[in-house]
């Protein structure tokens, strides 16, 4: 799987709402929420 992110880029900044989050913590939250049947954040990098 390829990504537009460099390994050194540890945070994501949403161009729409301005939220800044750690990429790994957001990924963990998305996996947990999906397993529980909740919706997930679909963060898309710029």
Domain ranges of the chain: 9-38
Enter the pTM of the model. 0.50
* SS3 label, residue 22: strand
Q: Which residue has the higher pLDDT, 4 or 27?
A: 27
Rounded CA gap, 22 and 35, in Å? 20
Q: Which residue has the higher pLDDT, 21 or 44?
A: 21
Q: What is the pLDDT of residues 5-38, one digit of tens each?
A: 666 778 878 788 888 989 888 888 888 988 888 8
Residue 25: predicted pLDDT: 86
Listed residue (19, 6, 22, 12) closest to 46, CA to CA = 12
Residue pair 25/39 in contact (Cβ under 8 Å)? The answer is no
């Amino acid at each position: 799987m390829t990504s537009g992110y460099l390994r050194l880029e540890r945070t994501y900044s949403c161009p729409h709402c301005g939220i800044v989050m750690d990429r790994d913590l957001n990924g963990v939250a998305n996996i947990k929420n999906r397993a529980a049947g909740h919706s997930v954040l679909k963060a898309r990098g710029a």
